[in-house]
């Protein structure tokens, strides 16, 4: 498998070189809104460790990532009044991965509303800012 490329987009977000609509952060994880959401509230959760895929992460860091993902997913279901929830995680181009820093997708779902195809719709920055604030507030409350 290829090695980790420190110039991937999410590594740049972690280093503060690119901006993101932050939802949550702790010492091991960072969460932000997807700029091309497949559903309102499409949120990404990433480890701070430089890992390319699910196969590379230390098991304890993975356990923490999943715990944080569940916390954020609960908040997302509340904030977006979701009827359901889809969690996705892709590895390597053959597995659908496009950005090569491990990440988990949180997708709040509404009955009868299909996911938009990937990378087909760029959300307005003001909308994402508002959604990120609401999610961050729900996580604190």
Residues identified as active-site? 103
How does strand 43-47 pair with strand 84-88?
Answer: unpaired
96 binds ligand AMP, rule: CB under 6 A: yes
35 binds ligand AMP, rule: CB under 6 A: yes
Q: Which of 58, 63, 87, 98 binds ligand AMP (CB under 6 A)?
A: 98
Tokens of residue 129, six digits: 């800012």
Residues facing 130 on adjacent strands: none
Q: Which of 34, 52, 53, 108 binds ligand AMP (CB under 6 A)?
A: 34
DSSP symbol at 89: -
Q: Which of 58, 119, 133, 137 binds ligand AMP (CB under 6 A)?
A: 119
Q: How far is CA 129 from the centre of its chain?
A: 15
Helix (H) or strand (E) run with residue 24 in it: strand 22-25
Q: Which of 49, 62, 85, 99 binds ligand AMP (CB under 6 A)?
A: 99
Nearer residue to ligand AMP within complex by CB, 114 or 141: 114
Residues 73-92 that bind ligand AMP (CB under 6 A): 90
DSSP symbol at 122: P
């Amino acid at each position: 498998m290829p090695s980790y490329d420190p110039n991937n987009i999410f590594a740049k977000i972690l280093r503060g070189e690119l901006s993101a609509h932050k939802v949550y952060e702790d010492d091991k994880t960072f969460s932000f809104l997807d700029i091309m959401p497949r559903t309102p509230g499409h949120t990404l959760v990433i480890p701070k460790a430089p890992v390319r895929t699910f196969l590379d992460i230390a098991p304890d860091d993975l356990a923490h990532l999943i715990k944080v993902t569940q916390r954020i997913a609960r908040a997302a279901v509340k904030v977006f009044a979701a009827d359901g929830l889809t969690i996705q995680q892709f590895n390597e181009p053959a597995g659908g991965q496009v950005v090569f820093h491990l990440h988990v997708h949180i997708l709040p779902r509404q009955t009868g509303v299909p996911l938009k195809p990937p990378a087909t719709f760029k959300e307005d920055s003001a909308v994402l800012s508002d959604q990120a604030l609401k999610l961050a507030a729900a996580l604190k409350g």
